[in-house]
């Protein structure tokens, strides 16, 4: 007798589907990335990311206050400095745009959400690389680590609850943990960009942060062909003291989420990156796909694959819609 079983019974009504839904997403599991630019009088729209802006200090404060009201888990702050140099000095300056934005965020919301700061030099260097360069123009791993340690302390001093080392230098999590401990910031957590790929899907982000990069980051970010290497990176980061490990981008790398999830005990995050955002926005603008459904499906898929936390430019939009 066929059909022997009828899975459609559980899909018959919205209530039935809600009852058996395996994956839910709460605003508290979402993190909103925000760009704060130095010297802006008005927020500046980012052409390649419709709906996303470079914030002024003031509008960033308002966006962060709203994020807290919406119950988001956190904000991830990126700074866009007016001046850059070869060693990224703006990253260490307590008056540098990112450190000031972190301090503003804490003043605005206190502990109501988790204030996270990107810990990387690419926004601050005139060559656009994530680290400092050696005499031959190569990214110098160990010289960069020294700067990351100081950057972590500067961000902790500004008030960051969690720092996000994203430069893919070997040993970065260990150096950041040691620097934070030595400075007495034992409570500042580390969200490690453990498996970060050299991805074309960061394209719009480069406009968002006025990136000066020529060339690519393939000597430090991972090859999209490799999965085992992602696990190796994640295990190293946990051993070095990561409190959360992250996979980035999310959609092309969903296979890594259950892999990493099953090998570590810390929370796993995934970064739904700029290109993933902009593709949906561009298609929705043309009426080719239903924006809200595509957004929900994107975030649900990332959660279903195994991410505990999702960084997404849609975080506030999704939370607002649930109201």
Catalytically annotated residues: 196, 248
Q: Which of residues 149-188 bind ligand PBG (CB under 6 A)?
A: 166
User: Of 268, 316, 318, nearest to 65 (Cα)?
Assistant: 316
CB 207 within 8 A of CB 78: no
247-281 exposure pattern, b = at least 16 Cβ within 10 A, e = fewer? bbbbbebbebbebbbeebebbbbbbbbbbbbbbbb
Shorter beta-carbon distance to ligand PBG: residue 14 or 317: 317
Does residue 124 belong to the site contacting ligand PBG (CB under 6 A)? Answer: no
Taking the least distance from each CB to ligand PBG, the nearer of 45 and 110 is 45
Per CB under 6 A, the segment of 9-17, 116-124, 170-178, 287-295 that binds ligand PBG is 116-124
Task: Output the smallest distance, CB 265 to ligand PBG, in A.
Answer: 25
Q: Cβ of residue 287: shortest distance to ligand PBG, in angstroms? A: 25
Q: Which of residues 47-106 bind ligand PBG (CB under 6 A)?
A: none
- Per CB under 6 A, which region of 15-23, 88-96, 114-122, 178-186 contacts ligand PBG? 114-122
Rounded CA-CA distance 276/201 in Å is 7
Among 205, 220, 253, 314, the residue binding ligand PBG under the rule CB under 6 A is 205
Q: Residue 300 burial (CB < 10 Å; 0-12/13-18/19+)?
A: middle
Distance CA 142, CA 82 (A): 27
Of 35, 124, 148, 202, the one binding ligand PBG (CB under 6 A) is 202
Task: Give the residue among 241, 240, 237, 235 at the shortest CA–CA distance from 260.
Answer: 235
Residues in the chain: 323
User: Taking CB under 6 A as the rule, which mask of x and - marks residues 244-283 in contact with ligand PBG?
Assistant: -----------------------------xx---------
DSSP label of 128: -
Point out which residues bind ligand PBG (CB under 6 A).
118, 120, 122, 166, 202, 205, 217, 273-274
């Amino acid at each position: 007798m066929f059909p022997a079983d009828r899975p459609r019974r559980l899909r018959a009504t919205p209530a039935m589907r809600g009852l058996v839904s395996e994956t839910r997403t709460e605003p508290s599991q979402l993190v909103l990335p925000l760009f704060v630019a130095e010297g802006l009088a008005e927020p500046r729209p980012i052409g390649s990311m419709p709906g996303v802006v470079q914030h002024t200090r003031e509008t960033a404060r308002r966006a962060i206050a709203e994020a807290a009201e919406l119950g988001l888990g956190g904000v991830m702050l990126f700074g866009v400095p007016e001046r850059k140099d070869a060693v990224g000095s703006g990253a260490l300056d307590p008056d540098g745009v990112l450190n000031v934005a972190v301090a503003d965020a804490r003043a605005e919301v206190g502990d109501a959400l988790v204030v996270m700061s990107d810990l990387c030099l690419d926004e601050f260097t005139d060559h656009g690389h994530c680290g400092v360069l050696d005499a031959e123009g190569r990214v110098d791993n160990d010289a960069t680590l020294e700067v990351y340690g100081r950057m972590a302390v500067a961000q902790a001093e500004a008030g960051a609850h969690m720092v996000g080392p994203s430069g893919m230098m070997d040993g970065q999590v260990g150096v950041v943990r040691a620097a934070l401990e030595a400075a007495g910031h034992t409570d500042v957590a580390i969200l490690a960009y453990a498996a970060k790929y050299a991805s074309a899907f960061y394209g719009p982000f480069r406009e968002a942060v006025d990136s000066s990069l020529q060339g690519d980051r393939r000597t430090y970010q991972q090859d999209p062909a490799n999965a085992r290497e992602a696990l190796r990176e994640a295990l190293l980061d946990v051993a070095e003291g990561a409190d959360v490990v992250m996979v980035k981008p999310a959609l092309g790398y969903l296979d890594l989420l259950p892999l990493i999830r099953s090998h570590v005990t810390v929370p796993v995050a995934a970064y739904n990156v700029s290109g993933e955002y902009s593709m949906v926005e561009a298609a929705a603008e043309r009426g080719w796909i239903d924006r809200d459904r595509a957004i929900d499906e994107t975030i649900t898929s990332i959660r279903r694959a195994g991410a505990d936390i999702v960084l997404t430019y849609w975080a506030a939009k999704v939370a607002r819609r649930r109201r």
